[in-house]
Amino acid sequence: MFKESYKLYPGERASEAKPSGLQYSTGMKKYTFKITLDNGIEEKNIPISLHRWSTAVIDIDWENEDPILIMVYTV
């Protein structure tokens, strides 16, 4: 488990390395992402199942009615 805070401007990105328990795992692991935006308008708890070949990407887009989008990519 880790907790990080980022202050990002439009077009900026932040990333975290996968936890070693996920990198070397042979099965799925469940994670919950808690995302809170600074202005307090939006907060989400999003459960996701990941495996060693998948990556979670969180996108924040103020132009959308629902500004927090989480996607899972598999390589």
Write down the pLDDT at residue 20: 80
pLDDT per position as a tens digit, 28-61: 888 888 888 877 677 788 899 999 899 888 888 8
- In Å, how far are 23, 42, 50 from 38, measured between CA atoms? 30, 9, 27
- Are 34 and 70 within 8 A, CB to CB? no
pTM of the model: 0.71
**Structure confidence at residue 60 (pLDDT):** 85
Cα gap 69→20, rounded to integer Å: 25
Which residue has tokens 């887009």? 61
CB 51 within 8 A of CB 25: yes
Residue with tokens 């808690």: 34
